Structure 1
């Protein structure tokens, strides 16, 4: 390709590309469950723009094209909820999902007092589940379709000399 993928904070100008990519990426998920009315396929541009304004949204860019994204928010108790980790189908299996996940965790740890990361993945989404487990997430619950995974933030112990 000749270009490298960069990860940066999403801007309002990225909203339409993110929404189109989201629609593309969640087609397989909808097919797995036989449900094309899932939230990522019905989200409006206005709702996505509100998420961009309210939370932490990162994009992966290949040149000017958004090829990946992840969203997160942090509540008052320090729980970070990660959502909508998406990677363009042609860019999958190259570590981009892991890079996005690491980047959002690093950003949240730096900017907020995060004590726990939480995300939900479709129970049939083996690739996504494998990615999350590989990054230290453990299953903490399940519903009919979704599995909840969490990862505690490990605070480094600083040695003092005296």
Structure 2
């Protein structure tokens, strides 16, 4: 292949690729829960466009193709909320999720003054839970999403190490 994947801020020109990638990536989550009405699958293109314009959004690019993305924003209380982390199925398990997560954390801490990070994932999403534990996140609670999926809420301090070797 000879090309490396780069991480950069998303632009308005990336919106349609992010939208399509998100739909592709979250199919496996929907299958895991037997629920094809999960938020990432029912989100509209206009809503993604609004998030890219207002929030901190990073993409992973392989040439001109968007192969990963993550979004975040900071609450008024200094909590950086990270969500919709996704990596194209053919490029999973190569560290792109970790790189995107670190980019979001860095952008929220440096540019948005976040003092802690919070995210969630489905309780059956073992790969996601493993990634977040390795990145230093700890379980702080449970919730049920508007789509009925049971979620694990995770958090870490912004000054915590980016990677925990023993996780």
TM-score normalized by the length of structure 2: 0.90
Q: Distance in 2 between matches of 1:143 and 1:108?
A: 24
Aligned partner of 2:157 in structure 1 is 152
> Stretches of 4+ moved more than 3 A in 1?
none
Q: Deviations over 1:70-118 (max 9, x none)?
A: 0000011100100000000000010000000011111111112211100
SS in 2 for 1:129: helix
Q: CA deviation at 1:143?
A: 2.3
Aligned partner of 2:136 in structure 1 is 136
Q: Deviations over 1:109-151 (max 9, x none)?
A: 1112211100001111111100000000000011241100000
Aligned partner of 2:163 in structure 1 is none
Long gaps (5+) in structure 2: 145-149, 161-167
TM-score normalized by the length of structure 1: 0.93
SS in 1 for 2:136: coil
Structure 1 position 14 matched with structure 2 position 19: no
Q: 141-150 or 1-10: which moved more?
A: 141-150
Aligned partner of 1:63 in structure 2 is 63
Q: Deviations over 1:48-75 (max 9, x none)?
A: 0000111100000000000000000001
- Of structures 1 and 2, the larger Rg is shown by 1
Long gaps (5+) in structure 1: 156-162
SS in 2 for 1:143: strand
Alignment coverage as a number of residue pairs: 155
Q: Distance in 1 between matches of 2:112 and 2:16?
A: 28
